[in-house]
């Protein structure tokens, strides 16, 4: 049955809307399970009832007519029990209810499984049969598996359907995601779609049918010209058969019926790329099904031609990429590189279907002060280009077509935010010390040049983490040693004489360089950070040489190593750095050997902290990864984001252990994970004894305001209380209420 399962899910995935999805499910399940009936009941959001939405076997006229409340009838019982009901004789069950409109009186055997998405029962999948028999375990397992697989598809199709209505009626609607970067953005969606082949063009509607038709015709003309040119250029090098292929391409593009088929679909509001892909894939399938092998081989040509035109369609869309004043980028998986494409003054927010608040894209959004929501899993993002929306980065709420009242409320919050930001202005020149005089250093995390001015304005005391991979991510090849030197010098110069901590290249995990692809099934446990650069000493040496050359005359460089899991990595890296240093001295550079630090972000480093602290000049805790690895929760996966807790008791105890042991060795300890930039987190870290907190420039003023308002002695009491607790949510609560009681409302979200 596994093959059938896969093929049903595949068919369902390519269905164009919810009715098509349901039709495929009932027809195919009935076929595969050899039952007399298969039906789907779906939850009606307004009434909360479950309505018969599709059936193969019951009377079609009953569709839309049968409504069951949770707990009512067998279907309602499947809903409340949230588990399958498998009955030999349905009519004997006390909950059985008979609906004459369905004609189901003939059926005895009943198997119903819930379709659950994010803990909500979206619907029930039912099969029925005349004879009295219990469905066997294999059949039950098949239906349960199918229901689980269909849940996401149905949720997505439902949302797409809702959106089609919203588009027509411009109705206010709401989607939930993960709050990834605080702030409010009121603007217009700009959709970013990845390059795709014919088979992966997403189902999407167009806003302006006329414009879409023009786009399609232009793409056809450009593709035709391109093929003609290439054919002409290669004329002498091609044999007769190959030349004929180019002619065949041209005549296919000239074939009016193909264009008519595509235009028909565009006129039904389908986007040009999707309409083209659907038509071409139908032709491909037709060729593939032919018995003559010559024609079967032509399928590949049709696919190739399809892809060529698709490229032109994408290019055309690309050239029309003019960003509106208040652009909110929306995409399946936004990256730092995509963010960087939009002029900064036009970009006000970001929404990503995948990812979580610990993804690097979220970290960059926070650093840029850009409100962002991640993990909006049910958002049919392809269909909302140009639509008005509000991004609530505090709560993770996305409002589409916001009404006047909603906008007014959000305008007020924006105003409140601005006042709050201004209230911190006077702090820039004041020291970061607690009310009882305990001094801490507040540093910034940087990556983009734009971070520098904001950091200095806000009184940063240096850079605790310069993510050197960011400039690498924004390019299409490795930057040369000289290019790197220039980038690093700008940072060092801007902050001199304050220290700048440069982390060596930390790629892998969710930070992939397009020009250095790493394909792994488990990238966060794979070739990441120091592992990559030790395997590629040429990359490492060029980078550390560039850093040290850049420090000439400033002497404020510190080098830090990411993802250290053992002493051997530290020693190997140190040897390379010392070698680069000696070479530079020989080349005549009058520079100092920079202090060398270790990031503690892999759990093994906690148990090696004494030896690491003895050998390194400083320690900096990467609490983002440390939390991910201690709790075994992928920081990028929105499905498990609710169990990623930086204030988990295990994390707090580890953080305390690190600072105690390192201090015993006389080594200074900082932290550069996101926890340091949260007022509550910062309080606990200062109570633990951390010497330096490094955070994004956006959060620095509110952290400083918090520390200045609280006595370290009091925060130690809070820490003691937290360290005795076992539930992370409870710890978060006491920290929040502590801030509130201390009159620190200004440091909380509006
Ligand atoms: C961390 O892991 O806490 C850290 C600062 O590094 P990054 O978020 O860049 O992985
Ligand atoms: Mg890290």
Does the CB atom of residue 54 touch ligand 1 within 6 A? no
How far apart, in Å, are the Cα atoms of 66 and each of 90, 102, 106, 612? 17, 8, 17, 68
The closest of 561, 547, 553, 529 to 594, measured between CA atoms, is 547
**Residue with the larger pLDDT of the pair 670 and 369:** 670
Q: Say whether pLDDT at 243 is over 70.
A: no
pLDDT at 321: 58
Q: Say whether pLDDT at 631 is over 60.
A: yes
- Which tens digits make up the pLDDT trace of 377-395? 888 777 787 889 999 999 8
Rounded CA gap, 55 and 126, in Å? 9
Q: In which band, very low, low, confident or very high, does the pLDDT at 159 lie, cut at 50, 70 and 90?
A: confident
User: Mean of the pLDDT values across residues 97-118?
Assistant: 88
Of 59-63, 319-323, 430-434, 480-484, minimum mean pLDDT range: 319-323
Nearest CA to ligand 1 atom 4: 622
The share of the chain scoring above pLDDT 90, in percent, equals: 55
CA of 625 to the centre of ligand 1 (A): 6
Average pLDDT score over the chain? 88
- Which tens digits make up the pLDDT trace of 421-457? 888 888 999 999 999 999 999 999 998 777 788 899 9
CA of 624 to the centre of ligand 1 (A): 5
CB atoms within 10 A of CB 99: 17
CA of 428 to the centre of ligand 1 (A): 26
Burial of 2: CB neighbours in 10 Å, binned 0-12, 13-18, 19+: exposed
Q: Say whether pLDDT at 143 is over 70.
A: yes
Q: In which band, very low, low, confident or very high, does the pLDDT at 238 lie, cut at 50, 70 and 90?
A: low
pLDDT at 653: 97
The closest of 372, 388, 403 to 183, measured between CA atoms, is 372
β-strand pairing of 173-176 with 397-400: antiparallel
Q: In which band, very low, low, confident or very high, does the pLDDT at 362 lie, cut at 50, 70 and 90?
A: confident
Q: Are 424 and 432 in contact (CB under 8 A)?
A: no
CA of 685 to the centre of ligand 1 (A): 17
Rounded CA gap, 528 and 516, in Å? 12
CA of 672 to the centre of ligand 2 (A): 9
Rounded CA gap, 410 and 533, in Å? 46
CB atoms within 10 A of CB 94: 5
Q: For tokens 């899910």, what's the residue?
A: 9
Does the CB atom of residue 673 touch ligand 1 within 6 A? yes
Q: Are 331 and 353 in contact (CB under 8 A)?
A: yes
Q: Say whether pLDDT at 204 is over 80.
A: no
Does the CB atom of residue 467 touch ligand 1 within 6 A? yes
CB atoms within 10 A of CB 537: 15
For residue 501, the surrounding DSSP H or E stretch is strand 500-503
- Which tens digits make up the pLDDT trace of 662-712? 999 999 999 999 999 999 999 999 999 999 999 999 889 999 999 999 999
| Nearest atom (ligand 1) to Cα of 445 | 5
Does the CB atom of residue 625 touch ligand 1 within 6 A? yes
Residue 735 C-beta-side C-alpha neighbours within 13 Å: 30
Helices (H) and strands (E) in the chain, counts: 26, 22
Where helices occur in 48-136 by DSSP H, the ranges are 73-81
Sorted by sequence, the CB contacts under 8 Å of residue 698 that are 6+ apart come out as 366, 367, 368, 369, 454, 677
pLDDT at 225: 85
**117, 360, 401, 648: the active-site residue:** 360
Burial of 594: CB neighbours in 10 Å, binned 0-12, 13-18, 19+: buried
- Which tens digits make up the pLDDT trace of 255-274? 788 889 999 999 988 889 88
Mutate to test the pocket of ligand 1, among 181, 355, 358, 363 (most ligand atoms within 8 A of CB): 363
Tell me the backbone φ, ψ of residue 596, rounded to 5 degrees. Answer: -115, 125
HEC secondary structure over 538-596 = HHHHHHHHHHHHHCCCCCCEEEEECCCCCHHHHHHHHHHHHHHHHHHHHCCCCCCCCCE
Nearest CA to ligand 1 atom 1: 622
Q: Say whether pLDDT at 649 is over 80.
A: yes
Nearest CA to ligand 1 atom 8: 624
Residue 331 tokens, joined = 């995409």
pLDDT at 750: 43
Does the CB atom of residue 672 touch ligand 1 within 6 A? yes
Rounded CA gap, 717 and 267, in Å? 67
Does the CB atom of residue 504 touch ligand 1 within 6 A? no
Does the CB atom of residue 303 touch ligand 1 within 6 A? no
38 a catalytic residue: no
The answer to whether the bond into 497 is cis (omega within 30° of 0) is yes
**Residue with the larger pLDDT of the pair 357 and 486:** 486
CB atoms within 10 A of CB 612: 25
- Which tens digits make up the pLDDT trace of 541-575? 999 999 999 999 999 999 999 999 999 999 999 99
User: Mean of the pLDDT values across residues 583-605?
Assistant: 97
Torsion-angle region of 373 (φ positive above 0: left; ψ -120 to 50: alpha; else: beta): beta
263 a catalytic residue: no
Of 243-247, 352-356, 631-635, minimum mean pLDDT range: 243-247
Nearest CA to ligand 1 atom 6: 622
β-strand pairing of 463-467 with 500-503: parallel
How far apart, in Å, are the Cα atoms of 44 and each of 41, 63, 121, 724? 9, 13, 11, 46
**Residue with the larger pLDDT of the pair 185 and 17:** 185
Q: Say whether pLDDT at 163 is over 70.
A: no
| Nearest atom (ligand 1) to Cα of 360 | 8
Q: Say whether pLDDT at 298 is over 60.
A: yes
User: Mean of the pLDDT values across residues 494-499?
Assistant: 96
CA of 745 to the centre of ligand 1 (A): 28
Does the CB atom of residue 363 touch ligand 1 within 6 A? yes
Q: Say whether pLDDT at 748 is over 50.
A: no
Q: Say whether pLDDT at 74 is over 90.
A: yes
């Amino acid at each position: 049955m596994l093959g059938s399962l896969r093929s049903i899910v595949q068919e369902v995935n390519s269905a164009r809307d919810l009715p098509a999805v349901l039709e495929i499910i009932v027809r195919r399940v009935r076929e595969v399970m050899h039952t007399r009936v298969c039906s789907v009941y779906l939850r009606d959001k307004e009434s909360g009832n479950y309505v018969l939405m599709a059936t193969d076997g019951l009377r079609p006229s009953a569709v839309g007519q049968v409504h069951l409340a949770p707990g009512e009838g067998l279907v309602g019982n499947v809903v409340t029990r949230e588990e399958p009901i498998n009955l030999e004789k349905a009519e004997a069950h006390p909950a059985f209810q008979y609906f004459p409109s369905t004609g189901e009186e003939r059926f005895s055997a009943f198997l119903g499984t819930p379709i659950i998405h994010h803990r909500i029962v979206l619907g029930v999948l039912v099969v029925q049969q005349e004879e009295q028999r219990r469905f066997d375990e294999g059949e039950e397992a098949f239906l349960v598996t199918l229901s689980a697989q269909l849940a996401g598809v149905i949720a997505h199709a439902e949302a797409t359907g809702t959106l089609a209505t919203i588009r027509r009626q411009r109705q206010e609607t709401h989607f939930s995601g993960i709050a990834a970067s605080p702030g409010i953005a009121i603007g217009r969606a700009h959709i970013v779609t990845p390059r795709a082949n014919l088979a992966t063009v997403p189902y999407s509607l167009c806003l302006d049918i006329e414009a879409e038709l023009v786009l399609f015709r232009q793409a056809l003309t450009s593709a035709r010209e391109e093929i003609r040119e290439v054919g002409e250029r290669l004329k002498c090098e091609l044999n007769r058969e190959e030349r004929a292929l180019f002619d065949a391409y041209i005549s296919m593009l000239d074939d009016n019926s193909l264009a008519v088929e595509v235009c028909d679909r565009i006129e039904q509001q389908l986007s040009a790329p999707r309409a083209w892909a659907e038509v071409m894939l139908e032709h491909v399938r037709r060729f593939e099904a032919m018995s003559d092998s010559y024609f079967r081989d032509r399928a590949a040509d049709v696919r190739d031609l399809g892809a060529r035109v698709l490229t032109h369609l994408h290019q055309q869309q690309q050239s029309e990429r003019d960003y509106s004043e208040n652009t909110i980028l929306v995409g399946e998986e936004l990256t730092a590189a995509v963010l960087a494409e939009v002029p900064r003054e036009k970009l006000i927010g970001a929404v990503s279907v995948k990812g979580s608040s610990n993804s690097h894209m979220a970290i960059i959004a926070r650093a840029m002060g850009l409100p962002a929501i991640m993990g909006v899993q049910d958002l049919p993002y392809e269909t909302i280009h140009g639509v008005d929306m509000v991004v609530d980065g505090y709560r993770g709420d996305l409002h589409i077509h916001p009404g006047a009242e909603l906008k007014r409320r959000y305008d007020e919050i924006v105003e409140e935010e601005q006042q709050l930001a201004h209230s911190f202005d006077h702090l820039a020149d004041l020291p970061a010390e607690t009310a009882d005089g305990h001094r801490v250093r507040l540093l910034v995390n940087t990556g983009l040049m734009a971070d520098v001015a904001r950091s200095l304005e806000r009184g940063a005391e240096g850079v605790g983490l310069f993510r050197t991979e960011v400039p690498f991510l924004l390019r299409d090849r490795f930057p040369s040693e000289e290019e790197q030197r220039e980038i690093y010098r700008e940072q060092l110069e801007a902050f001199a004489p304050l220290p700048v901590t440069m982390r060596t290249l930390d790629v892998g995990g969710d930070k992939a360089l397009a020009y250095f692809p790493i394909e792994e099934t488990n990238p966060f446990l794979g070739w990441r950070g120091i592992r990559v650069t030790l395997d590629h000493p040429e990359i490492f040496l060029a980078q550390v040489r560039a850093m040290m050359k850049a420090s000439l005359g400033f002497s404020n460089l510190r080098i830090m190593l990411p993802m250290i899991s053992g002493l051997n990595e530290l020693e190997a890296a140190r040897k390379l750095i010392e070698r680069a240093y000696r070479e530079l001295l020989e080349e005549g550079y009058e520079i100092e050997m920079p202090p060398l630090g270790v990031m503690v972000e892999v759990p093994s480093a906690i148990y090696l902290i004494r030896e690491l602290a003895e050998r390194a000049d400083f320690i900096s805790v990467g609490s983002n990864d440390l939390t991910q690895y201690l709790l075994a929760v992928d920081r990028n996966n929105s499905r498990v984001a609710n169990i990623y807790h930086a204030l988990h008791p295990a994390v707090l105890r580890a953080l305390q252990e690190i600072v105690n042991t390192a201090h015993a060795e006389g080594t200074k300890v900082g932290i550069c994970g996101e926890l340091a930039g949260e007022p509550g987190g910062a309080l606990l870290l200062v109570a633990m004894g951390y010497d330096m907190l490094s955070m994004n420039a956006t959060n620095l003023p509110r952290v400083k305001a918090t520390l200045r308002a609280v006595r370290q002695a009091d925060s130690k009491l809070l820490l003691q209380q937290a360290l005795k607790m076992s539930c992370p949510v409870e710890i978060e609560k006491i920290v929040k209420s502590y801030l509130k009681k201390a009159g620190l409302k200004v440091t909380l979200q509006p």
